[in-house]
Amino acid sequence: MATFRAADEVYGIDLFEEGRPGRSSAYLIRGREPILVETGSANSQEALWSGLAELGVGPEDLRHVVVTHVHLDHAGGAGQTMARATKALLHCHPRAARHLADPRRLEAGARAVYGERLDAMFGPILPVAADRIVVHEDESALKTRDRILRFYDTPGHAKHHTCVVDEATRGIFSGDTIGIRYVPSYTGWDFVYGFPTTTPSDFDPEVMLETLDRLEALNLRAVYHTHYGVTEPAREAFQFSRRGLRRIQQILPLLSDASTYEEVAEALGRQVREDLASQGHPGVDVAPLALDLMLNSQGILVYLQKRAQGPREGEKR
């Protein structure tokens, strides 16, 4: 099954991002005005539409599409999705809108991170007409006939990141902010494992911890992760995210902006293996996390370099 029930009228859809199951999920809130959360990349469009069809929803049924942030595994296919979902509006963070309307800078940034693999991994990035994009300031709401979604400004992973609370089910669409939930279908392990994502280029552990505190105070029931599936009770996702961030903070004093990528990757890999051991999984081969360890190491290095330079003019965080 490529879809799963997350809560009352909330369903997950496996996007088979990177061609692999259990990596990324979009969500459908079915209701009277169907809402899609996350589009995945261009390469996930087929999985997305077949998952929606399985749930009885066609492109013309969608009224709203929400993206948590503009990273390609979340919104890279927004242009393709919106071209088919002709009756839908696209909802996002105020800082995300210009990238969705004109993805050229986004694409250049992604190319710097993924290099030659970019096109094969995510496919083409198409713009969305600006007049179909609705931006949501902190705590603003999308009200449909039977649902209220509340948007929160959630920096720490990306400055253009919003997390969205479904008030009816008290669940939060967390994007990349409340950790990654690694599931057996992706890792091949026989347990679920949680760790934060620290990918470039806005990762900041202090800011992420502040965001986690703020979101946890909302007393939510469940976390609907893009990567992957549902953590319930929500508390457990906050716990594993904080635990991982503490481990990352432990390695920061050992590193500097002059550290090499290899040094960061080595220190991070050691922390992840120790974290797995502390959770009752000693000696696990972390190869299934190789891509994320690479991206996370890049993000930590970018953070160290930015921190050494100090805040740029006109930029608070």
- What does each C-alpha distance from 157 to 193, 196, 240, 247, 289 come to in angstroms? 19, 9, 16, 16, 18
292 binds Zn ion (CB under 5 A): no
> CB 72 → Zn ion: shortest distance, Å?
9
Shortest gap between Cβ of 186 and Zn ion (angstroms)?
13
Nearer to Zn ion, 42 or 57 (CB): 42
| Shortest spacing between CB 36 and Zn ion, in angstroms | 16
Residues contacting residue 315 through CB under 8 Å, at least 6 positions apart: none
- Is the distance from CB of 171 to CB of 225 less than 8 angstroms? no
Choice between 111 and 143, CB closer to Zn ion = 111
CB 222 within 8 A of CB 232: yes
Selected from 176, 202, 204, 275, the binder of Zn ion by CB under 5 A is 176
- Measured N-to-C along each axis, helices 234-251 and 261-278 cross at an angle, to the nearest 10 degrees, of 140
Closest CB 71 distance from Zn ion, rounded Å:
5
CA distance 228 to 55: 19
Sole window of 25-33, 69-77, 157-165, 234-242 interacting with Zn ion (rule: CB under 5 A): 69-77
Separation between Cα atoms, residue 255 and residue 197, nearest integer Å: 18
Q: How far apart are CA 268 and CA 111, in angstroms?
A: 23
Helix axes 261-278, 290-309, angle to 10 degrees: 120
* Beta carbon nearer to Zn ion, 15 or 28: 15
**Among the candidate windows 126-134, 145-153, 169-177, 188-196, which touches Zn ion by CB under 5 A?**
169-177
- To the nearest whole angstrom, how small is the minimum distance from the Cβ of residue 176 to Zn ion? 4
**Least Cβ distance, residue 34 to Zn ion (angstroms):** 23
Q: Which stretch binds Zn ion (CB under 5 A): 103-111, 140-148, 171-179, 272-280?
A: 171-179
Among 17, 73, 166, 204, binds Zn ion (CB under 5 A): 73
- Site of interaction with Zn ion (CB under 5 A): 73, 176
